[in-house]
Amino acid sequence: MNPAFASPNAWKVREALDKIPFIASFGNFLDETSVLADLMLPDHSFLESWVDSLPESGALEAVTTVAGPVMKPLHNTRSTPDVVIEVAGKLKSPVALPWKTYEEMLKAGQSPVAGRQSPVPSLQPPASSAKYQAPRFDGDAATFPFHFLPYASQAFFDGSTAHLPWLQEMPDPLTSAMWSSWVEIHPQTAARLRLEQGDLVDITSPHGTLRVPVVIFPGIAPDVVAMPVGQGHDNFTRYASKRGVNPIEILSPLTEAETGALAWAATRVKLARAGDGDGRLILFAGEMRENPYEGRR
């Protein structure tokens, strides 16, 4: 988790963290949140420790998975749950936990019950208590005419893997962009705003402005502009720091009513041409097409 990176500026997460007198951080790499900590406790990698997963289920019964480590720790690190379990027993008022290790906890939770049979699921799902609510959007449509759609990057997901250079090098499967940030704009919108591939554009919401190069992309609606999430880190190793921009920064602080989660698609923006391409847009396929020596022997 990296809330200092993955939260809109309007939530003022960094300001709230600055007011906490003591922060301990677990992790493998320094990021925007861990640099604010008073104590760093290096965690195992996922290959060095026990892990569990409870993915969102598309069936009537959820399935949990547990996996053990596949290698010994390379460095002086410890699994975060193991540290928490140990610290719980050493508090001034100890918390009595039934396990001594994270492995023991996971195995206890996954032990099969003898003779237990899964119930046959009903073919008729229970009626939902959720009620329809009209969508809300932050930003006046006359001033901010475009819907802003940040989406999870194919390579970086929410930005947690942007520090891996081989993922930075991997071209986006649809645009072939790499090592950079970009905004995807429909060809009709680009023509109306006199934008060419690679031109710089300012994307402004009621909460801030980002400057990025344009990718003209026919697979998007004319009234929508989209950006992948994952770049724009201030602190996340030499491969990700100061590379691209973070679209989450300018999102509205609106939340989804049922879950309280951030309403990712609730922000409206406006666009303004900011200049000709300055080399910020790096295209794998584009570089191949523009190579004057391509095909020569």
For 36, 40, 103, 257, the CA distances from 43, given in Å and listed in that order, are: 17, 9, 15, 34
- Is the pTM higher than 0.85? The answer reads no
Domain 3-109 = CATH 2.40.30.10:
no
> What is the per-residue pLDDT for 128?
57
Query: Which residues sit opposite 200 in a β-bridge?
Result: 213, 275
Domain with CATH 2.40.40.20 in the chain: 146-290
Contacts of 182 by beta carbon, 8 Å cutoff, 6+ apart: 175, 212, 213, 214, 215, 227, 228, 281
Report residue 191: phi and psi, to 5°.
Answer: -65, -40
Of 139, 137, 142, 148, the closest CA to residue 249 belongs to 148
Q: What is the mean pLDDT of each run of 10 residues along the chain (297 residues)?
A: 91 94 91 93 92 75 86 94 93 91 88 49 54 85 96 90 93 90 95 93 96 94 96 93 95 87 92 86 64 41
Residues of the chain with CATH 3.40.50.740: 3-109
Question: For the structural domain made of 146-290, what CATH number should be given?
Answer: 2.40.40.20
